[in-house]
Structure 1
Amino acid sequence: MFNPRLSVVTIVYNNVRDIERTIRSVVNQTYTNIEYIIVDGLSNDGTLQVIDKYKSQVTKFISEKDEGIYDAMNKGLTLATGDYVIFMNSGDEFYDGKTVAAVFASADDADIYYGETEMIDDDGNSLGQRRHKAPEKFTWRGFKYGMSISHQAIYIRRSLAEPYDRRYQLSSDIDWIIRAAKKAKKIINVNRYVAKYLVGGMSKKKHRQSLMERFDIMKRNYGLIPTVFNHFVIAFNLGWYWLRNRRTND
């Protein structure tokens, strides 16, 4: 029976409201071969007290000042020893208690597993599926029209997972997934919801910077001219999406 070790990494800083929901979604998995790593940025709002309640179920824990989200995530990668790694950061959740077991039951020995994501609001209420639906098949070229797989919904063989490029402050996860996918030989769509994503992160608050970083990442991977053309396609698809949904709501 395929039973790889999964390193689940949670990074958090002053998020006492959401951290327990994330921790519970990890420690309540039916799949038991999990290494759970929490990287805290020296929280002072009660987050540490919540984490302490679950210390017996957390494999590795550090709390120290970091230089931003991707510095913290790189610390988590350094601590990870599992066969696969996934980031389930504070506020995000596995879709249900059987998610990890279902992912690894879908196929043996893939380089990447991925699935669909449900969006949730601050109160944990469902906002439905992401606008970018997970593709039926995924390759490294799959992000040319946008990030079609969320960061919380992709399991990557740890040997393929390089450090995050810290020149990007908001969108390095896109670059990270593309780099891993370029090396992947076997990529499996598990054809189920695998994660719940809390909307409204830093990339939403600093939308312009996020878009500029994404453009640069795509330019480096797909070329300047194709990226410019693809952004016209992205703009058209976005406009059509909002128009269609406005009609539905009306």
Structure 2
Amino acid sequence: MPLLSIITITYNAERFLERTIQSLLANQPGAEVEYLIIDGNSKDGTLDIVRQYEKHITRWISEPDRGLYDAMNKGQQRATGDYVWFMNAGDELHDEAVLPKLLNQIRNNPADVYYSDALFVDDHGKALGLRSQITPHVLPRHLNWRDMAMGMKVCHQAFIARRTLAPPFLVDNLSADVDWEIRCLKTAQKVVWLDFVLCKYLVGGLSVQRHRQSLRDRFTVLADHFGVATALWNHVRIVARAVRFRFFG
């Protein structure tokens, strides 16, 4: 059984998928790592790229789905590693040393959740800055689920969870990744901060494209975990924090 399952979700991702695959191959994954690609029945050249790298892919499927989080559930259900790590098309492992360092942690410092910072990049791979520096989300060194009361503290691609405690994703909620992280943290007995950056995160995903719905869905998630009154108050604080960060840094 592999230690780690890396899962990539794709849909019409021919522009970005090869970037993700090559970042994994640069880390020379061995038998301890399985790689899954879950495609939503792409109509462009995505599957040509998948077939080009097929010998490096443990399993892949291409079929219609109900959206991103339905596809992520399919990937999680098919994973067999001790841990699951979602690295979607366009996202990358930060550098060639990430995987060896991560596997060393898993072997010698077993935990339920590992997390770190993420480097934001644009469509062309240009670095925009660390998430903890260019957004209001300060990254805590001792993360617990209550740290998520004002939204996602950790970029989803910089959050790795033990597969047996990872819950299904909410399929019809654009903040399902926030809910997933909170539920993972609620059941985790040991959470480890990694002192190296795990990933490069391609900005401009689904929640950015459908921002208004994403905000409504985030409120639903936070109200479910923290209560309606707390979620209302924290959203006032979120707006104030965003304004403060934008104008005063």
Q: TM-score range by the shorter chain?
A: over 0.9
For structure 1, which segment, 178-187 or 128-137, has the greater mean C-alpha deviation from structure 2 after superposition? 128-137
Contact 2:39 2:62 in 1 (8 A): yes
Q: 2:151 aligns with which of 127, 146, 154?
A: 146
**How high is the TM-score relative to the length of structure 2?**
0.93
Q: Is the 8 A contact 1:30 1:98 kept in 2?
A: no
Contact 1:116 1:133 in 2 (8 A): no
Alpha-carbon distance in structure 2 between the residues aligned to 1:69 and 1:8: 16
Contact 1:31 1:98 in 2 (8 A): no
2:11 alignment partner in structure 1: 13
Q: Secondary structure at the match of 2:150?
A: coil
- Runs of 4+ residues deviating >6 angstroms: none
Residue number in structure 1 paired with 2:111: 110
Q: Contact between 2:2 and 2:80, CA under 8 Å: does it hold in 1? A: no
How many residue pairs align between the two structures? 242
Structure 1 letter corresponding to 2:41 = L
- Greater shift, 225-234 or 89-98, is seen at 225-234
Deviation per residue, 1:201-242 (Å, 9 max, x gap): 111111110000001100010111111111122111111110
2:140 maps to which of 120, 135, 138: 135
Give how far 1:103 is off: 2.4
> Which residue is equivalent to 1:172?
176
Deviation at 1:92? Answer: 0.6
Whether the 8 Å contact between 1:121 and 1:127 is mirrored in structure 2 is yes
Shift of 1:27: 2.4
Give the match for residue 155 of structure 1. Answer: 160
Instruction: Flag the 1:116–1:144 CA change in 2: closer, same or farther, 3 A.
Output: same
Q: Which residue pairs with 1:248 in the alignment?
A: none
Preserved contact between residue 7 and residue 86 of structure 1 (Cα < 8 Å)? yes
Unaligned runs of 5+ in 2: none
Q: Distance in 2 between matches of 1:105 and 1:31?
A: 13
Structure 1 runs not aligned, ≥5 long: 246-250
SS in 2 for 1:16: coil
TM-superposed CA distance for 1:133, in Å, is 3.1
User: 76-85 vs 221-230, which deviates more?
Assistant: 221-230
Percent identity reads 42
